[in-house]
């Protein structure tokens, strides 16, 4: 027997994007169902959970949900740079607690959450229009009818693909990490490692969580490399290149694995009765594979604009377009400039990486962090490009400037 439900908005996926969309939509007074296929929110961790304290605070994430970082170590095969700040700016989240915090917020605003419920395909009406989703839960068939679907299913964009709006990502990152006990680690210092001995197309990391707990991982870009991320992680833990050699015993406690799109924003993020958000929409910084704050921020916008469209009685593509426009305006050109830098990074050989670190040494800590954040605001880029006398650094930032100019030009700005 099929169970039937009726909601104003159905959200597929209980990750940061879906939970944030659920919160902001429910706050507007519409009925909301968030559908998550796992048994618990944040059950399988698929992220390293690094974000920025400023963003975490603005989202209301309690301070004891993250470990604060103020030293940023960067390693190439034969070079090393350490950037330090008097104040911490980065945060390593307790991912499960943070996502459950977002879930409680959504629930307290009125959203319902269905766990262990797998969305399998879109539901269409007699005219072929999207009218909800079909799902299964514990061998039961479920039908969720809704005026609007928000696809926050992450990498797989299950509804976006189901309605033929998007296809599977071709460029993406794979990441494997162990959350581990280690004997020795400075809890305020993170470590990023680049070059072939760490990752053939990506980077490796050690992100501390405090109390001798760290996430040690490696990310590998596809299709640039065929290497398996889990295999490379095991090799790194076995061979212990610097700085992994300084951790003492490494005792894995939990394994994490995930995929992240790496093509920039989807050209279309809305169609009639459908919004894509978070990884489903390509809202991640491809340079350092960072997407949580975008998922929360744009999840909130998607929920608000979606709920307003429902209240207005018009969930057409045209009515939802302000969401797509604001996303593209906010991060479109930053993400495209980050992709450009990433292509450059992917072309570097080990000895080039050693030289690239010399460029990074020239940057102030603030400039370095803006760079990692893909915070390529035009004023930032011009300031850095003109204030640094070394040719290499000017060339790097001129490249970003040109990428931005080109994209803004295409948008007719």
Ligand X SMILES: Cc1cc2nc3c(=O)[nH]c(=O)nc-3n(C[C@H](O)[C@H](O)[C@H](O)COP(=O)(O)OP(=O)(O)OC[C@H]3O[C@@H](n4cnc5c(N)ncnc54)[C@H](O)[C@@H]3O)c2cc1C
Residue 286 touching ligand X (CB under 6 A): no
Segment contacting ligand X (CB under 6 A): 79-87, 234-242, 255-263, 329-337?
A: 255-263
Integer Cα distance of 267 and 269 in angstroms: 7
Q: How many helices (H) and strands (E) does the chain have?
A: 12, 18
Site for ligand X (CB under 6 A): which residue of 122, 258, 286, 332? 258
Tokens of residue 315, six digits: 């969930």
One-character DSSP codes across 359-393: HHHHS-HHHHHHHHTT---HHHHHHHHHH---HHH
Q: Rounded to whole angstroms, what are the CA distances from 214 to 75, 177, 181, 322, 343?
A: 18, 10, 7, 40, 29
Q: Is the Cβ of residue 162 or residue 195 nearer to ligand X in the bound state?
A: 162
Residue 279 touching ligand X (CB under 6 A): yes
- Shortest CB 307 distance to ligand X, Å: 18
Integer Cα distance of 274 and 293 in angstroms: 22
Residue 46 touching ligand X (CB under 6 A): yes
Q: What are phi and psi of 164, to 5 degrees?
A: 80, 15
Q: In the range 193-222, which residues lie near ligand X by CB under 6 A?
A: 219
Tell which residue, 353, 60, 344, 55, has the closest CA to residue 196. Answer: 353
Q: Is the Cβ of residue 204 or residue 400 nearer to ligand X in the bound state?
A: 204
Integer Cα distance of 8 and 148 in angstroms: 6
Q: For ligand X, what does the binding mask look like between residues 170 and 189, x meaning CB under 6 A?
A: -----x--------------
Residue 50 touching ligand X (CB under 6 A): yes
- Shortest CB 4 distance to ligand X, Å: 18
Residue 290 touching ligand X (CB under 6 A): yes
Q: For ligand X, what does the binding mask look like between residues 86 and 125, x meaning CB under 6 A?
A: --------------------------------xx------
Residues found near ligand X in the complex (CB under 6 A) = 12-18, 35-38, 46-51, 118-119, 152-154, 156, 158, 175, 219, 258-260, 278-280, 284, 289-293, 295
């Amino acid at each position: 027997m099929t169970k039937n439900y009726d909601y104003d908005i159905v959200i597929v996926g209980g990750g940061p994007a879906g939970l944030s969309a659920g919160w902001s939509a429910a706050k507007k007074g519409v009925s909301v169902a968030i559908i998550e296929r796992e048994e618990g929110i944040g059950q399988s961790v698929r992220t390293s959970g690094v974000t920025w304290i400023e963003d975490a605070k603005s989202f209301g994430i309690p301070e004891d949900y993250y470990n604060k970082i103020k030293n940023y170590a960067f390693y190439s095969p034969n070079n090393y740079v350490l950037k330090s700040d008097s104040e911490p700016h980065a945060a390593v989240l307790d991912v499960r607690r943070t996502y459950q915090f977002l879930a409680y917020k959504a629930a307290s605003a009125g959203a319902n959450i269905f766990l262990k419920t797998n969305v399998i395909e879109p539901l269409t009406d007699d005219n072929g229009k999207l009218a909800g989703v079909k799902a299964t839960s514990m061998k039961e068939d479920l039908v969720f009818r809704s005026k609007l679907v928000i696809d926050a299913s992450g990498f797989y964009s299950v509804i976006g693909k189901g309605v033929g709006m998007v296809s599977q990502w071709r460029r993406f990152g794979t990441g494997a990490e162990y959350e581990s006990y280690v004997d020795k680690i400075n809890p305020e210092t993170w470590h990023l490692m680049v070059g072939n001995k760490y990752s053939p197309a990506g980077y490796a990391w050690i992100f501390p969580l405090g109390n001798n707990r760290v996430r040690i991982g490696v990310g590998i870009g596809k299709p640039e490399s065929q290497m398996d991320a889990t295999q490379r992680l095991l090799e790194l833990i076995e061979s212990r290149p610097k700085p992994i050699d300084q951790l003492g015993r490494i005792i894995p406690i939990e394994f994490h694995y995930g995929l992240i799109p790496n093509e920039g924003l989807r050209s279309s993020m809305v169609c009639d009765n459908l919004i894509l958000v978070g990884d489903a929409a390509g809202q991640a910084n491809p340079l350092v594979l960072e997407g949580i704050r975008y998922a929360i921020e744009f999840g909130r916008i998607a929920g608000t604009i979606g709920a307003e469209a429902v209240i207005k009685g018009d969930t057409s593509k045209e009515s939802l377009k302000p969401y797509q426009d604001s996303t593209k305006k906010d991060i479109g050109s930053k993400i495209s400039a980050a992709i450009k830098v990433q292509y450059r990074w992917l072309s570097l050989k080990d000895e080039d990486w050693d030289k690239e670190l010399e460029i990074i040494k020239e940057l102030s800590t603030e400039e370095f962090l803006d760079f990692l954040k893909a915070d390529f605001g035009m004023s930032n880029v011009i300031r850095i490009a003109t204030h640094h006398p070394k040719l290499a650094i000017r060339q790097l930032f001129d490249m970003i400037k040109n990428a931005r100019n080109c994209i803004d030009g295409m948008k007719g700005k």
